[in-house]
């Protein structure tokens, strides 16, 4: 006679020990699957929050237009052996009626130093990373004269860097435009001014801020 236990229908009855082992095996398999899914979830969480798949912040387009991004095309590098190019003329400037295109003849005739004051306005100030230079342009509205000198000065804390060169002219104004290159120009916020001294007098622009990255 067989050792298998028969149920009421005459069919062999499953061994309870085997059923228990089968249930434990299924429970173990489910536990392994759940553990793998948990590990995958943690990996995905890391990738999207701290790893290479972390979303990048949107670009901030609210930065003040005092430090325009430059590729070196906004201002040519100035050669000290050549006459600097004139900065763009002021689009808001309208010459007075009867104004002549000839240079003004208001220089002192006795050789005395000028005693008047002139207005110096800035039209451009920015950092050109490709040239490691602060580039600044300014003009003297309504003053057209030769023989003047422009001085660009940049200050950061106790550090001051400056450069001087001859002014240029166009039909309606005297122009100061130059690049400032110096190893002392380190990253940070720099205050720049353009000064002028010439036959009509002298003056200094309002300060502007240039950020070196």
Contact 163, 180 (CB under 8 A): yes
Distance CA 101, CA 143 (A): 11
Q: Answer whether residue 97 shows pLDDT above 50.
A: no
Ordered alpha helix ranges (H), the chain? 16-49
| CA-based nearest residue to 160, from 126, 186, 122 | 186
Greater confidence, 183 or 80? Answer: 183
Locate 99 and state its tokens: 């104004």
CA angle 172, 106, 163 (to 5 degrees): 70
Residues with Cβ < 8 Å from 31, sequence gap 6 or more? none
Greater confidence, 148 or 45? Answer: 148
Give me the residue spans of the domains in the chain. Answer: 1-56, 61-213
Locate 20 and state its tokens: 């228990």
Supply the pLDDT for residue 56: 61
Q: Answer whether residue 103 shows pLDDT above 80.
A: no
pTM over 0.75: no
- pLDDT tier at 6 (50, 70, 90 boundaries)? low
Highest mean predicted confidence (pLDDT) among 2-6, 39-43, 95-99: 39-43
- Measure Cα distances from 80 to 130, 144, 145, 159 in Å: 19, 22, 21, 23
Task: State the DSSP code for 6.
Answer: B
CATH number of 61-213: 2.60.40
Highest mean predicted confidence (pLDDT) among 44-58, 101-115, 133-147: 133-147
Residue 204 CB neighbour total at 10 angstroms = 17
Distance CA 174, CA 123 (A): 13
| CA-based nearest residue to 102, from 65, 144, 53, 147 | 144
Greater confidence, 182 or 39? Answer: 182
Contact 145, 103 (CB under 8 A): yes
Distance CA 3, CA 20 (A): 20
Look-up: residue for tokens 């003056």? 203
pLDDT tens, residue by residue, 150-163: 999 999 999 999 99
């Amino acid at each position: 006679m067989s050792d298998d236990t028969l149920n009421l229908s005459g069919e062999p009855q499953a061994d309870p020990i085997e059923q228990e082992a089968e249930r434990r095996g299924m429970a173990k398999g489910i536990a392994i699957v759940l553990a793998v899914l948990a590990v995958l979830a943690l990996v995905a969480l890391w990738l999207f929050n701290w790893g290479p798949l972390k979303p990048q912040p949107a670009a901030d387009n609210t930065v003040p237009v005092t430090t325009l991004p430059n590729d070196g095309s906004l201002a040519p590098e100035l050669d000290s052996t050549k006459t600097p190019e004139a900065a763009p003329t002021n689009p808001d400037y309208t010459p007075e009626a009867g104004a002549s295109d000839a240079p003004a003849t208001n220089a002192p005739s006795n050789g005395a130093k000028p005693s008047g004051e002139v207005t110096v306005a800035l039209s451009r100030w920015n950092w050109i990373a490709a040239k490691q230079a602060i580039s600044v342009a300014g003009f003297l509205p309504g003053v057209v004269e030769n023989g003047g000198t422009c001085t660009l000065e940049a200050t950061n804390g106790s550090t001051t860097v400056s450069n001087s060169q001859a002014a240029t002219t166009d039909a309606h104004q005297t122009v100061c435009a130059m690049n400032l290159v110096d190893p002392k120009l380190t990253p940070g916020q720099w205050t720049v001014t353009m000064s002028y001294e010439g036959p009509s007098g002298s003056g200094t622009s309002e300060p502007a801020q240039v950020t070196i990255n």
